[in-house]
Amino acid sequence: MLEIPVLRWGKPYESFDQQEVVHFETGEPLAKVHQANAGLVKMDMRKAQRARDLLREIPCSKLLEICKNAANLYMTAELPLGNGKQTPEEFCRIQSASTGMPEWMCAGNMKKIAFVLENMESILDSLTRGLPLDILTRGYGKEERGVMMSYQANSPVLGLVLPSNSPGVHTLWMPILPMQVGLVLKPGSSEPWTPYRMTEAFYQAGIPRECISVYPGPHDVGSTVTELCQRVMLFGGQQTIDKYKGNPNVQAHGPGFSKILLGDDVVDRWEDYLDLMVDSIFQNGGRSCINASSVWASRHSEAIADAIAKRIGPAGPTSMTDPEAPLAAFTMTGAAKAMNGQIETGLSEPGVTEVTAKYRDGERLIELERCDYLRPTIVHCANTDATLANTEYMFPMASVVQCDQKEMLKKIGPTLVCTAITEDQQWSQQLLDATHIDRLNIGPIKTNALNWLQPHEGNIVEFLYRARAFQNEAPAAH
């Protein structure tokens, strides 16, 4: 069987503790993943600076080339994986088998990752606002306009506590190595595939092995990574987000509560935006935090809900190899059932109606022997206080909320992506000023249409580097 060791600064380590990753439908063992213990991580973190030192010996321009090569290797090569090898096709197959994502979605996520790596130069140019990258290496330098700039790395490595269910999020850590910061990866238990394949692609492309550690393991390994790395990106539910709120060392990624707001000036033409709403809710199986979890409109909300429901309501599970499989499975026992129960409770509140029920044959929850599915669900909320007006689940589920435009910004709550379709200049300005919206689209743009030249969920450059004052000559008199 495939055996995957811990990677301690690139060095394989075979642990006595191993965990099997199994096929979610058949229970067939797919691989044995060796498990780190927290002490190993603590021991290794004492050498974290070495990762950054080695990366600083490679010019950023060279690292950008390495990223391009890594993208190509990731997409096309047969790469080593533990005691075996893996082609891209095998990668998609095994990722689908353990996460419940249809294979075509896994392939789509590969393309996203490759796109980011191939376009890293433009992405970093954009994220750093045009900073000459050697300033990150040396710590200081002058821009073309003659201004002295200094950036200090907040940490020699970035720790990542990665999820099990959403391969798309791995795009977020791709820019780290070319910024000359090492990687400490704690993969999710069902999705070790992307971290290992990406690590091997980086190694083969020329990143020194000592710059990346991969520590599969139990929860205390994740908490040790979080505790010891001075900068950490982690993924979890709302409880996790709340736990790390205000901790400058941790960038916590959770539910997005992404939304589409229809302005009063366009809402009578809502049918023009139906495709946009459906895609925002439904693409990638509705699993991403950038999928819309609600649509807000001051009128026509029932008709909007009905139209969306009519489009996506009939969708149901098919084979993982179906090139158009619309839904991802829930592989964790009880998760889908629990969500279904919460939705049913939410539906019992006044003014809340499920619209999809009439368009599908059968129940929302489909329980199979080893996995479950939740079929698309559109809920109409006649008021903004309903629990389901602002709830997010990992499947195509959204509420259509009736709300006056002037109330929307007060009521929507924290929002990762907000697509506001409007030409109302005054409202647009209020949207621009709204600090509870992270990524703002004004105009007909899908919530899940990412522009990688824009900051993503907190600018990674600002997270990893501190802009500061630096002088190596006395300032001019003034």
Partner 1 sequence: MTDNNNLDELVKQNQEALDAHTRESVQWHFSPETGSPYWLEKAKGFDFDPLTDVNCFEDLNKFPLFEDDELRGGPVDRWIPKALLGKPTYVFETGGTTGIPKSRVVIDDFRIDYENFSDTLPDESFPKGSNWLMLGPSGPRRLRLAVEHLAQYRDGISFCVDLDPRWVVKLIKKGKIDEVKEYSAHVIDQAMAILGAGHDIKCMFTTPKLLEALAMRLMDEGSSIEEAGIKGIFCGGTEFTQQWYRFAREELLGENVYITPTYGNTLMGLACGRPFDPADDYKITYYAPQPRAVIRVVDFDDHTKVVGYGETGRVKLFTMTKELFIPGFLERDEGEREVPHAKYPWDGVSGVRPYHKIAQSTTVGVY
Interacting residue ranges for partner 1, rule: CB under 8 A:
15-17, 35, 37-40, 42-43, 46, 220, 223, 226-227, 243-244
Contact of 234 with 254, CB cutoff 8 Å = no
Q: String of b and e for 189-212 (b: at least 16 CB within 10 Å)?
A: bbbbbbbbbbbbbbbbbebbbbbb
Q: Write out the H or E segment, with its range, that includes residue 418.
A: strand 415-421
Maximum CA extent, the chain: 78
Q: Which is nearer to partner 1, 43 or 453 (CB)?
A: 43
- Work out how close the CB of 242 gets to partner 1 at its nearest, in angstroms, rounded to a whole number: 8
CA dihedral 404→405→408→409, nearest 10 degrees, is -150
- Work out how close the CB of 46 gets to partner 1 at its nearest, in angstroms, rounded to a whole number: 7
Contact of 211 with 177, CB cutoff 8 Å = yes
- Work out how close the CB of 15 gets to partner 1 at its nearest, in angstroms, rounded to a whole number: 5
Q: Which is nearer to partner 1, 6 or 124 (CB)?
A: 6
Which residue from 166, 158, 209, 164 is spatially nearest to 185, judged by alpha carbons? 158
CA dihedral 70→76→77→80, nearest 10 degrees, is 80
- Work out how close the CB of 20 gets to partner 1 at its nearest, in angstroms, rounded to a whole number: 15
Contacts of 55 (CB under 8 A, 6+ apart): 63, 177, 180, 181, 182, 207, 208, 211
Q: Which is nearer to partner 1, 39 or 237 (CB)?
A: 39
Contact of 241 with 254, CB cutoff 8 Å = yes
Contact of 287 with 101, CB cutoff 8 Å = yes
- Work out how close the CB of 169 gets to partner 1 at its nearest, in angstroms, rounded to a whole number: 23
Q: Which is nearer to partner 1, 3 or 227 (CB)?
A: 227
Q: Which is nearer to partner 1, 15 or 428 (CB)?
A: 15
- Work out how close the CB of 37 gets to partner 1 at its nearest, in angstroms, rounded to a whole number: 5
Q: Which is nearer to partner 1, 14 or 367 (CB)?
A: 14
Q: Which is nearer to partner 1, 73 or 228 (CB)?
A: 228
The DSSP annotation for 69-123 comes to HHHHHHHH--EEETTEEE-HHHHHHHHHHHH---HHHHHHHHHHHHHHHHTHHHH
- Cα separation, 184 vs 196, in Å, equals 12
- Work out how close the CB of 27 gets to partner 1 at its nearest, in angstroms, rounded to a whole number: 18
- Cα separation, 13 vs 5, in Å, equals 5
Strand partners, 4: 33
> Which region, left, alpha or beta, applies to residue 233 given φ > 0 means left and ψ of -120 to 50 means alpha?
beta
- Work out how close the CB of 29 gets to partner 1 at its nearest, in angstroms, rounded to a whole number: 18
Q: Which is nearer to partner 1, 38 or 307 (CB)?
A: 38
- Work out how close the CB of 345 gets to partner 1 at its nearest, in angstroms, rounded to a whole number: 23
Q: Tokens representing 256?
A: 């997005």
> Which region, left, alpha or beta, applies to residue 361 given φ > 0 means left and ψ of -120 to 50 means alpha?
beta
Q: Which is nearer to partner 1, 38 or 113 (CB)?
A: 38
Q: Which is nearer to partner 1, 37 or 284 (CB)?
A: 37
- Work out how close the CB of 30 gets to partner 1 at its nearest, in angstroms, rounded to a whole number: 22
Q: Tokens representing 215?
A: 């520590």
- Work out how close the CB of 337 gets to partner 1 at its nearest, in angstroms, rounded to a whole number: 17
Q: What is the DSSP letter of 168?
A: G
Q: Which is nearer to partner 1, 46 or 478 (CB)?
A: 46
- Work out how close the CB of 413 gets to partner 1 at its nearest, in angstroms, rounded to a whole number: 22
Q: Which is nearer to partner 1, 211 or 252 (CB)?
A: 252
What spatial distance separates the first Cα and last Cα of the chain, rounded to whole Å?
Answer: 71
